[in-house]
Amino acid sequence: MAKKLKWGILATGGIAGTFAKDLAYADNGECYAVGSRNLEHAKQFADEHGASIAYGSYQELVEDPNVDVIYVATPHPYHKENVLTCLRAGKAVLCEKPFTVNTAELAELIEFAREKQLFLMEAMWTRFLPAIKKVREWLEEGKIGEVQLVKADFGFRAPWEPEWRLLNPKLGGGALLDAGIYPISFASMIFGANPEKIMSTVEIGETGVDERFSLLLKYQNGKTASLNGAIRLSLTNEATIHGPKGFIRIPSFLNAKEAHLHLDNEEVESFVDDRESVGYKFEAEEVGRLLENGRLESDAISLNQSLEIMKLMDRVREQWGLTFSFE
């Protein structure tokens, strides 16, 4: 690009800081402005991440004519409202995962963005990592044959802080939306998000959120995905893809720096990414390329794909009888 995209960061939490820090590695974007409900927080964030301007409200941020695109990094119950604020101001938007809390909210955002011809994308950063791109190349080349089984886990042991976002039902807490979306999105990247059958178990904790779950998704021709997520239990955070000719193993798949192709009677082929950045820069660069080319969606994670994944998670929560008071 002739000039770098000027990113606006909406919110100043941990994920916003990680994204802003990674923008320093992006070829086509820079951290330009930040908006917070607290001006002091915005100023501290701007000083730390080299943003030129700090705003004490989200509205001021979206009204800045120099901001090209906005990264929405608030907790997911606020995504719908915050994204709409950006879109109404005519801004391109990258929204942190999960896109929204449920299908109805996301469908409203997609309809508005398409009506106004505005760029909108879910920040499923895993799909843009070089290691995951290599995995998709191996699959497209038929290296392991037609995929039969996908296994993926993501879980960690969060501290016991009942009012904290992850454990608070008023803030959309729970394992499915926060951690589980990674293995679900990963399996959906390979099989699609419309399994014939969903089997699941869940552990609902003291605060009323799902602390741990297991899913078995059955697709056509006997293909299956075995997925686990947790916020109070550490898991391997590994993904494996199995076919008749071999399998692919991806350690720490959600922020993958390596992938290994295991074929029968052959030496293991490995891909290693020695990047210095966390990896959010790749989705930021993708947004820049798409905007430069006049595109409104990404093929790697289209709005329809995000919507189908949200529908799948709604079906899972329906099995559990789990809803949030604000829905």
Q: Which of 1, 185, 113 is nearest to 176 (CA)?
A: 185
Q: Which residues are catalytic?
A: 97
Q: What integer pLDDT is reported at residue 265 of this predicted model?
A: 81
- Tokens 């039902």 -> residue: 169
Which one-letter amino acid corresponds to residue 1? Answer: M
Contact assessment for residue 33 and residue 12, using Cβ atoms and an 8 Å cutoff:
no
3-state secondary structure of 98: coil
Strands 5-10 and 29-35: parallel
Q: Which of 102, 100, 308, 322 is nearest to 201 (CA)?
A: 322
Q: What integer pLDDT is reported at residue 3 of this predicted model?
A: 77
Q: What integer pLDDT is reported at residue 1 of this predicted model?
A: 52
- CA torsion sign for 56, 57, 58, 62 is negative
Tell if the pTM clears 0.85, that is, is over it: yes
**Angle, to 10 degrees, between the axis of helix 14-23 and the axis of helix 281-292?**
60
Rounded Cα distance between 122 and 62, Å, is 18
Which one-letter amino acid corresponds to residue 316? Answer: V
Write out the chain's pLDDT in tens, 327 residues.
557 999 999 999 999 999 999 999 999 999 999 999 999 999 999 999 999 999 999 999 999 999 999 999 999 999 999 999 999 999 999 999 999 999 999 999 999 999 999 999 999 999 999 999 999 999 999 999 999 999 999 999 999 999 999 999 999 999 999 999 999 999 999 999 999 999 999 999 999 999 999 999 999 999 999 999 999 999 999 999 999 999 999 999 999 999 999 998 888 999 999 999 999 999 999 999 999 999 999 999 999 999 999 999 999 999 999 999 999
Q: What integer pLDDT is reported at residue 2 of this predicted model?
A: 55
Backbone angles phi, psi at 67, to 5 degrees: -75, 125
Q: Which of 116, 317, 140 is nearest to 229 (CA)?
A: 317
Q: What integer pLDDT is reported at residue 319 of this predicted model?
A: 97
Contact assessment for residue 313 and residue 179, using Cβ atoms and an 8 Å cutoff:
no
Token duo for residue 247: 């399998």
Backbone angles phi, psi at 316, to 5 degrees: -65, -50
Q: Which of 164, 178, 158, 157 is nearest to 79 (CA)?
A: 178
Q: What integer pLDDT is reported at residue 99 of this predicted model?
A: 97
Q: Which domains does the chain have, with CATH numbers?
A: 5-125+285-296 (3.40.50.720), 130-272+309-320 (3.30.360.10)
Rounded Cα distance between 298 and 125, Å, is 12
Q: What integer pLDDT is reported at residue 126 of this predicted model?
A: 98
